[in-house]
Amino acid sequence: MHRIMVAPMLDWSDRHCRYFHRLLTKKALLYTEMVTTGALIHGDVERHLRYNEVEHPVALQLGGSEPADLAHCARLGEQWGYDEINLNCGCPSERVQRGSFGACLMAEPVLVADCVKAMVDAVQVPVTVKHRIGIDKVESYEFVRDFVGTVAKAGCQVFIVHARNAWLKGLSPKENREVPPLRHDWVHRLKADFPSLTIVLNGGITTSAQVQEQLKQVDAVMIGREAYHNPWWLSQWDGVFYPCGDAPALSREQVEEQMVVYMDREAAESGTPWTAIARHMLGLRHGLSGARRWRQVWSDHKLKERPPREVIALAHRRG
């Protein structure tokens, strides 16, 4: 049972980010950024689905609304070895809305159920749904309760609930993570109303104490932006949230060193510039003396032609 997870974050939780996070926690479930069915059906499958074996357990999040397309892409995800297939019913961006998926799907629970059933019938790995508690400014617990009830009948056993409404008009995706009020109590009510389902709470959690408190009422907690901006927090998770969890195995310096080795390997194997990887670890020394200068060095694109081995030396140079 996964007790804590790192959220799918568009443009952030790519395979380089997940490799970095896996150095910090061995047990947390990691998610890809959302991959649309169109990108997989008409695009470069390897580019979208490639990952590092060390990332397990890792889940693939899909965006789409056509049952047959989602079933096809779920099969691809299973063939590539992902441990879970997740359907995005929570993203409020206008670009996603134009594709008729994401949060706007919450208005069509029967369609979501059809999508879930098609995927459940297509794969052996778990099929899960990530969604909001509602859409627009109408707030009704019954709305999200009925959504979960309808989709659960199609075979979904795990619901990851971002405890805010998604306003489909008038707010940016960033504002949609901050402006609609948090209603953790509604997620708790879902668990009470559906005790046999796995209910995961997402939204507004920034400390281990808050996670522990939520785990008294839900099955698991998903962390998004805080995990990205304060990644060293992840190094506590295995020891705190798992009964037989291990203490963090690596120091900050060792994690950074492992990332340099990874940067060298990625450059040799795929030509990936180290700057595309280093951006994910800029919060590693958050709160420490000298963190600002360290971050400036690792984000300095004037150094992009220098090998990462030289950059790490510059980052730790005194003065």
Catalytic residues: 91
Q: Which residues neighbour 53 within 8 Å (Cβ) at sequence distance 6 or greater?
A: none
CB 194 within 8 A of CB 156: no
* H-helix or E-strand spanning residue 252: helix 252-270
CA-nearest of 115, 113, 50 to 76 is 50
- Tokens 């004037």 locate to 302
What is the rounded CA–CA span in Å between residue 193 and residue 171? 31
Torsion angle in degrees (nearest 10) through CA of 118, 72, 3, 147: -40
Convert 10-44 into a string of H (helix), E (strand) and C (coil).
CCCCCHHHHHHHHHHCCCCEEECCCEEHHHHHHCC
- Tokens 């310096």 locate to 253
What is the rounded CA–CA span in Å between residue 25 and residue 23? 6
